[in-house]
């Protein structure tokens, strides 16, 4: 059976598509530690998918990558403090498409749920009509503070929000099961993608439930191009703790190996 492109659905010459934009990875020097559910190991290599044709990858998706990297240079690069305010200017068409691309690539690579993305593939490529039901909710997370309880006097140590992640999440509200939730985070900026599993899903209802469930988050209005974000009380470390604690031995082994190789 002939291979078909994951985006256009056509046969063609296939290429290696980075899950995260290559220009972004070059900016962060490819520094990362990823846990692979398939292998059960932690590794530093970037995930790559091989089911995207050259036309889609080089002619259409690459434009989205450039937009993402411009946002990184302006907004995402520097971790934000606990009382930050950011006037975030955006092009909803480009922002939504590149976030969906990263989420879709990640889901395919990890063997996660991809059915809700099928109705969005053409939008990611062409950016014609904004998809529905679909919404983006942004969050500006704060740095974490750790106190050394072994000392009588300990000054809290600030742990800035550094790192990038694309993962599946869960919305435990009355109607949360009606949407697929994906998180795309870059340092202090967390983007929660709500994708309806059926065309009849009332996305406004889900957005309102999300905003009540996680206060200090902000709806990204498709009809606007600017939003003011304020630091939330949540930290990026809090969202990562379940994974770090659950796979502590795997991460420890990876970082010890890295330390030996660099010494």
Asked whether residue 86 is assigned to any structural domain, the reply reads yes
Asked whether residue 133 is assigned to any structural domain, the reply reads yes
pLDDT at 242: 53
Copy the structure tokens of residue 16: 């290696």
**Phi and psi torsions of 62, nearest 5°:** -65, -30
* 3-state SS class at 184: strand
Domain extent, residue 196, equals 79-262
* 3-state SS class at 68: helix
Q: What sign for the dihedral angle of Cα 245, 249, 250, 252?
A: positive
The whole-model pTM stands at 0.86
Q: Are 23 and 70 in contact (CB under 8 A)?
A: no
Asked whether residue 19 is assigned to any structural domain, the reply reads no
Asked whether residue 222 is assigned to any structural domain, the reply reads yes
Asked whether residue 114 is assigned to any structural domain, the reply reads yes
Q: How many folded domains does the chain comprise?
A: 1
- Dmax over Cα atoms in the chain, in whole Å? 68
One digit per residue, pLDDT tens: the chain, 263 residues?
568 999 999 998 998 888 899 999 999 875 565 556 666 665 555 678 999 999 999 999 999 999 999 999 999 999 999 999 999 999 999 999 999 999 999 999 888 999 999 999 999 999 988 778 999 999 999 998 877 777 777 678 888 888 888 989 999 999 999 999 999 999 999 999 999 999 999 999 999 999 999 999 999 999 999 999 999 998 876 655 555 545 556 655 655 565 565 55
pLDDT at 152: 72
Asked whether residue 232 is assigned to any structural domain, the reply reads yes
Using CA atoms, how far apart are residues 79 and 162, in angstroms rounded to an integer?
Answer: 6
Asked whether residue 181 is assigned to any structural domain, the reply reads yes
Asked whether residue 7 is assigned to any structural domain, the reply reads no
Tell me whether the omega of the peptide bond preceding residue 133 falls within 30 degrees of 0, making it cis.
yes
């Amino acid at each position: 059976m002939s291979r078909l492109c994951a985006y256009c659905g056509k046969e063609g010459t296939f290429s290696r598509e980075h899950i995260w934009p290559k220009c972004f990875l070059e900016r962060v020097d490819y520094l990362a530690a990823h846990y692979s559910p398939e292998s059960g190991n932690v590794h530093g290599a970037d995930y790559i998918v091989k089911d995207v044709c050259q036309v889609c990858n080089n002619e259409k998706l690459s434009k989205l990558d450039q937009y993402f990297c411009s946002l990184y240079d302006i907004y995402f690069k520097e971790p934000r403090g606990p009382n930050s305010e950011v006037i975030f200017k955006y092009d909803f068409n480009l922002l939504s498409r590149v976030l969906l691309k990263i989420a879709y690539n990640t889901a395919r690579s990890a063997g996660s749920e991809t059915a809700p993305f099928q109705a969005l593939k053409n939008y990611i490529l062409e950016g014609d009509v904004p998809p529905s039901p679909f919404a983006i909710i942004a969050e500006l997370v704060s740095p974490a503070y750790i106190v050394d309880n072994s000392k009588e006097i300990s000054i809290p140590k600030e742990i800035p929000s550094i790192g990038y992640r694309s993962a599946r999440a869960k919305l435990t509200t009355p109607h949360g099961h009606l949407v697929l939730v994906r998180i795309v985070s870059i340092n202090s900026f967390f983007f929660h993608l709500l994708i309806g599993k059926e065309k009849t899903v009332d996305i406004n209802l889900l957005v309102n439930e999300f905003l009540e469930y996680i206060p200090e988050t902000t709806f990204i209005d498709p009809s606007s191009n600017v939003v003011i974000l304020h630091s939330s009380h949540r930290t990026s470390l809090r969202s990562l703790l379940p994974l770090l604690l659950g796979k502590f031995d795997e991460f420890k082994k990876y970082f010890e190996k890295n330390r030996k190789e660099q010494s």
